[in-house]
Amino acid sequence: MSVKVSVPRPEDEASRSRFAKQRMLSPVTCCASSRHFAEAIRTLLRPGDVCLEIGYDQLGPVTPLIARAIGPTGHLAGIKRHGAVMSTHKKKSPEDMCPLEVASLTTTHLPDGLWNVSALQSFGSVTAVVCDFSSMHGNDLLSDSISFVQLLRATYDASLRTVIFRSRALTAHATSYITDSFFSAKKTTPQGDPKGYFAKALKELDSIFPSYPLPPRNPDSPNGMAARICIPTGRPCIVMPFVISAIGVANYREMMHLTCLTHSRVMEIGCADGPTCRLLVGPTGPVGPCGFVLGVDVGKECIYNARKFSTALPHNLVYEIADAWDTPRLVQLEPDVDVIFLDMGGLSSVDGVSEALSLCRVLTHAYIRTLRFIIVKSRCLRDHSRSLLVQPAVESESKADALSQ
C-alpha cells in the first residue's frame, strides 16, 4: 500500500480560479480496515471540530472515539443507520454506555438516504466528515464512493477540512492513482515513502515485466496477448498498473524517462501531430530499437501530418486513426502495450473526472496482462488523485491482524 504525500506546486496554483482552489481544500483519507479507520480518526480530528459521522452508533467503538478526538469543545452530528442494532460488536446496555463529552450532539435518520442534499446542508458548517460507507450504503462500490465524496465536498465546500472514509474499493483506487509530483518525489526524497510501499510496488512491476525482446504472442490464449511473466517463478501474473496524472506538456513528457524502458511497447492516445511519439523514439528517447511506439488520434488530418513529419524516424513508430473509446480497435492495432500516454483535452475540464476514470478503467482491463503505467494529461484527474490519501498501517499492526480486517 502506498502512502501519498501531496505537495501542491505554487506555480501551478497561481493560475487556478478561486472555485478550483476551494475544491482542493478537503483531502479524503481512505481506510481499508477498522484499524486504519480508528488511527485516522485519532490523528486527523482536532479538538473543537464540527464533525459529521455517517453511521452514528454510540454503542459501537467509532462514535466514542470521535467524541474523544473532538473533545468537550467539539460538535458531533450523527446520521444513524436504519434499524435498532448498528454495531457488530457486543451491544452495551444503556447503563454501561458512557456519555459523549462534546459541546453538542445531534442525531438523525435520513429517510431519503445519504444523497439528500437538503438534509446534509441542515448540519451547517461541517469541518470534518467520518464515513463508514459500506455499513451505511450496504455495498462498497467505487463509483458510488467517488460520487458521494464529490457530494460532500460540494455541500460543505466553504468549511470542510478533511474526510475520513472507510472503503476498501476507494482505498485500492487511491493506491493506483497517483500524481506526477508524487512520482517524481519518490525518485529523490525517500522521506515521502517511509515504509517503502511505493518503492516496493515499482520493484514488483519491474520484476514481473518480461525481459526484452517481448515473447511472441500466444495464439492459444483467450485474447491472444502475451502475459506478464514473473521472472523468479516463470508463471503468468497480473498486477494493476499505476495511473499517473500530469498537467502541462512538460510534466506529461517528463514521465517518459520515468516509466518507459528500452524495450517498452508504448501507445499514445490523442497524439495529434505526434511530437511526443517522436520524442519517445528519438536519439534521447527512452524507447530503443527493441521497443515500439503507436500513436493514435481520431483526426485524420492529425495522423496525416504525423506521418509526414516522421518519415525519417525509425520503423518502430507507427500512426493510426482510432478513437480512444474504440477499445477493440486499439487492441487490434497493438495488443501488448505496457505504457499508455493519454493526451485528451476533453479530460482536462473541471468536471471531467468521471470520463477520465471510465477511460482509464477500460484501458486498464483491456491491457491488464501487460500494462504497467497510464500517464494522463488531465488537470481534473490530477486534482482527484492528489486529494485521495491512504491511511498508513499502524506500527503495532501485525500481518495476521491486517488480514483479519
Range 211-231 average pLDDT:
42
User: Is 99's pLDDT higher than 80?
Assistant: no
* Whether the domain at 10-175+389-404 and the domain at 178-387 fall into the same CATH topology: yes
DSSP-derived letter for residue 109 is -
Q: What strands, in cross-sheet order, belong to the sheet with 388-390? A: 104-108, 75-80, 50-56, 128-132, 162-166, 28-31, 388-390
Q: How many CB atoms lie within 10 A of CB 172?
A: 16
Q: In the prediction, which pLDDT does 333 show?
A: 93
Mean pLDDT over each residue of the chain, to the nearest integer: 75
Residue 338 has what pLDDT?
87
For residue 83, pLDDT over 80 is answered with no
Predicted pLDDT at 250: 87
Residue 227 has pLDDT above 80, yes or no: no
Residue 80 has, within 13 A of its CA and on its CB side, a CA count of 14
Amino acid 68: pLDDT: 92
Look up the CATH number of domain 10-175+389-404: 3.40.50
Burial status of residue 308 (CB atoms within 10 A of its CB: 0-12, 13-18, 19 or more): exposed
The reported pLDDT for the residue numbered 222 is 38
For the record, the C-alpha cell of 170 comes out as 476507494
Residue 362 Cα distances to 264, 270, 359, angstroms? 21, 16, 5
Ordered by start, the domain boundaries in the chain are 10-175+389-404, 178-387
The answer to which of 47-56, 196-205, 286-295, 386-395 has the lowest mean pLDDT is 196-205
**Do 177 and 388 meet the contact criterion of CB atoms below 8 Å apart?**
yes
SS3 372: coil
pLDDT of residue 114: 78
Q: Residue 115 pLDDT > 50, yes or no?
A: yes
Lowest-confidence segment of 35-39, 187-191, 321-325 by average pLDDT: 187-191
What is the structure's pLDDT at 1? 35
Higher pLDDT, residue 72 or 379:
72
The answer, yes or no, to whether residue 325 has pLDDT greater than 80, is yes
The answer to whether 325 and 362 have CB atoms below 8 angstroms apart is yes
Give yes or no for residue 206 having a pLDDT over 70: no
pLDDT digits (tens, 9 = 90+) for 1-53: 333 434 344 445 445 554 454 445 588 999 988 888 999 999 999 999 999 99
Q: Which residue would you say has higher pLDDT here, 186 or 362?
A: 362
Flag the least confident range among 67-76, 196-205, 231-240: 196-205
Q: Is the pLDDT of residue 181 over 70?
A: no
State how far the alpha carbon of 189 is from the alpha carbons of 68, 185, 243, in Å. 35, 6, 20
pLDDT band at residue 130 using 50, 70 and 90 as cut-offs: very high
Q: 85-94, 334-343, 376-385 — which is least confidently predicted?
A: 85-94
Q: Quickly list DSSP for 51-92.
A: EEEEEE-TTSSHHHHHHHHH-TT-EEEEEEPSSS---SSPPP
Is the pLDDT higher at 233 or at 333? Answer: 333
> Could you give the CA distance from residue 379 to residue 402 in angstroms, rounded to a whole number?
35
- CATH 3.40.50.300 is right for the domain spanning 178-387: no
> Is residue 178 predicted with pLDDT exceeding 70?
yes
pLDDT of 92 > 60? The answer is no
Mean pLDDT of 196-223: 45
**242 confidence band (pLDDT: 50, 70, 90):** confident
Return the minimum-mean-pLDDT range out of 1-10, 255-264, 383-392. Answer: 1-10
Q: Span 359-387, mean pLDDT?
A: 88
Q: Where are the alpha helices (DSSP H) in 298-378?
A: 300-309, 327-333, 353-366
Sequence-distant (≥ 6) Cβ neighbours of residue 388 within 8 angstroms: 4, 27, 28, 30, 170, 173, 174, 177
pLDDT at residue 182, as a whole number = 58
What was the pLDDT predicted at 3?
37
Q: 263 or 3: which carries more pLDDT confidence?
A: 263
